[in-house]
Structure 1
């Protein structure tokens, strides 16, 4: 499993900050879906992605090439044939927050599309887990799962410290287990959301 971290802002880690061209290339619902599948489940072909997305292999092949042009994905060395190419998402963190891209309307629009699609997919996966019944999972997986929300009153410095600690824990876990294979191993999604609430408590 490739290391897989997407962030909404640079955190000073060794990660790639997507430039405006890469953001625009990724700013398509199916491309976000393909990119995320490669991140979560490892290398795929256009055919296997077609089966997973419900699209044609011609469509997935086209979008794979578009992502590859901006080095968002790459062919797997030594695997596949001329007719059946395997694709993977390179190891390493990725940040969607590019200050230069955010200075232009097209850059802001592309960033918004990418973030909306990724967050929508994350929410959909969570709701699927809830809908299929958390109790349907084996007991050991139930005990290892966590859906938790907490609120505290913090300063900006304390919030930065908390975010850094949580990110460091995610980085350590992904770095240690990203290539793990074997019986009982499954993809596990890990979410961290740290952000200030409106003082008025209004939802906008």
Structure 2
């Protein structure tokens, strides 16, 4: 992440505005596919353009998305997700009950969509993979034994790798041969008492 790139942590009002499965889906699609109209989103989601237009306005009211400048007409407005990192706080005991419920909805829906995207990739027929992309992906799970300090250090290293990649490839979405890819990094502690298993155990 560059020094001038801001990280926005959603406040309670923005979190509540996002706490609707259809709004999370719209927000996710704008991140994945770039600028869209209410009509194009309706076709992707299977809703009416009136419904997507309503939710787009609700998201825009909290600066979660914005209208694309110098594009579209009074009848057909284009919307985009501003660039930059969003920090979406998960449910916490310190939250009010309503804020905790909103955080649960947002977190659950984002993770559901994330898993759905991963399974779509895994189950995609080889015939639908363009040449050069068939073996480009990676799905890897590794178990480690770490202290909290070591896990935090590793988290910082992974974040630095991702930030460097974002900066290195910034602005090349229109180059021939490029496709939008999903880069995922996860690191978290397992519950105490979790049985260790290797891939070869029966």
The normalised TM-score by structure 2 is 0.88
For residue 114 of structure 1, the aligned residue among 97, 106, 112 is: 106
Secondary structure in structure 2 of the residue aligned to 1:143: coil
Q: Deviations 1:138-173 (Å, cap 9, x if unpaired)?
A: 452233200000011001111111111111211222
Pair 1:99–1:27, CA change in 2 (3 A)? closer
Residues 11-160 of structure 1 correspond to what in structure 2 (within 5 A)? 14-97=6-89, 102-133=94-125, 136-138=128-130, 140-160=132-152
Which runs of 5 or more structure 1 residues have no equivalent in the other structure?
4-12
Select between 129-138 and 37-46 the one with higher mean Cα deviation.
129-138
Q: Which runs of 4+ in 1 moved over 4 A?
A: 98-102
Shift of 1:134: 5.2
Shift of 1:186: 0.9
Pair 1:139–1:162, CA change in 2 (3 A)? farther
Secondary structure in structure 1 of the residue aligned to 2:133: helix
Q: Which has the higher helix share?
A: 1
Shift of 1:14: 3.4
**Counterparts of 1:185 and 1:139, CA distance in 2:** 12
* Structure 2 residue 193 is the aligned partner of structure 1 residue 200: yes
For residue 187 of structure 1, the aligned residue among 156, 175, 180 is: 180
Higher relative contact order (CA 8 A, sep 6+): 1
Shift of 1:178: 3.7
CA contact (8 A) 2:35 2:81 kept: yes
Pair 1:159–1:20, CA change in 2 (3 A)? same
Map of 1:172 onto structure 2: 164
RMSD after superposition: 2.1
**Counterparts of 2:7 and 2:87, CA distance in 1:** 7
Over alpha carbons, which structure has the higher Rg?
2
Secondary structure in structure 2 of the residue aligned to 1:186: coil
**Counterparts of 2:62 and 2:92, CA distance in 1:** 17
Q: How many residues align?
A: 191
